[in-house]
Amino acid sequence: MEASVRTVVCTDAEALASEAAGWLCERALASNGRFAVCLAGGSTPRRLYENLASEPLNGRFPWPRVHWFWGDERFVPQDSDDSNYRMARAAMLDRVPVPPGNVHAVDTRLLNPAAAAEAYERNLQAFYGATSFDRARPLFDVMLLGLGEDGHTASLFPGSAALAEREAWAVAVVGERPQARITLTYPAIESSRDVAFIVSGRGKRDVVEAIRRGENLPAARIKPAGNLHWFLDRDAI
């Protein structure tokens, strides 16, 4: 698979959400059969999800054959305002005809973050049909990622032991942020046909510039099996 890197700059956050949602819809429509999307958390992608769940895209998107995963999750109840699962449900999944079996959330009702990470890894491997990656057969069709001001993505934070994890597909991240997290590791994130960063706002300008300068920040280390896309608004560059 010949990888490529593409940057799309949009006039503002609303245009960014619309452009990225349209792109995701076209990627799904261009595919056949099962299509796996791994969602980003945080606040930036909310409008993207709302766009996808609204006219005209919601009538075109192939909801019945698309499966939904999360790149990371806070270890909080699924109805918590801090839950990435809750955000995606409210912005999109509860508003469109998604088969319940197509939603693969991190189960934060389990005993502890490590148990949640292990269960999530088992679910990912059951979906993929193997316990090791084949670079020619990506786990995800599209991986959406946000970018933190410190250069983190998902819950891969600077200096974290999770950055070195090359075997597990998902790990618990405890003590690095106020809430414990579960995050996909680099091997799982990179097992994607298309990885798309969605970055908006003046607050991200410095970190975007640092990545452009080649700083070895966690987000900059993503080497997808497939294509890498940066969707940015003008405030972020």
Of 223, 219, 217, 160, the closest CA to residue 191 belongs to 223
Q: Is 72 in the site for ligand 6PG (CB under 6 A)?
A: yes
Q: What is the chain's alpha carbon radius of gyration, rounded to the nearest angstrom?
A: 16
Does residue 21 sit in helix, strand or coil?
helix
Name 194's bridge partners: 142, 227
Q: Which of residues 75-104 bind ligand 6PG (CB under 6 A)?
A: 84
Nearer to ligand 6PG, 55 or 79 (CB): 79
- Give min distance, CB of 191 to ligand 6PG, in A: 18
Nearer to ligand 6PG, 63 or 222 (CB): 222
Q: Is 113 in the site for ligand 6PG (CB under 6 A)?
A: no
In the chain, % helix, strand, coil (3-state, to 5) comes to: 35, 20, 40
Q: Is 154 in the site for ligand 6PG (CB under 6 A)?
A: yes
Q: Is 190 in the site for ligand 6PG (CB under 6 A)?
A: no
The residue nearest ligand 6PG at its CB is 146
Q: What is d(CA 113, CA 104) in angstroms, rounded to the nearest whole number?
A: 16
- Give min distance, CB of 129 to ligand 6PG, in A: 26
- Give min distance, CB of 222 to ligand 6PG, in A: 12
Q: What is d(CA 85, CA 104) in angstroms, rounded to the nearest whole number?
A: 10
Nearer to ligand 6PG, 63 or 121 (CB): 121
Sheet containing strand 140-145, edge to edge, reads: 5-10, 227-233, 192-199, 140-145, 35-39, 66-70
Contacts of 149 (CB under 8 A, 6+ apart): 203, 204, 206, 207
> What DSSP designation does 146 have?
-
Nearer to ligand 6PG, 22 or 42 (CB): 42
**Number of amino acids touching ligand 6PG (CB under 6 A):** 14
Q: Is 146 in the site for ligand 6PG (CB under 6 A)?
A: yes
Name 197's bridge partners: 145, 230
- Give min distance, CB of 156 to ligand 6PG, in A: 8
Nearer to ligand 6PG, 46 or 60 (CB): 46
Containing 119, the helix (H) or strand (E) segment is helix 113-128
Single residue of 23, 68, 98, 148 touching ligand 6PG by CB under 6 A: 148
Q: Which residues in this chain contact ligand 6PG in the complex, by CB under 6 A?
A: 40-44, 71-72, 84, 146-148, 152-154
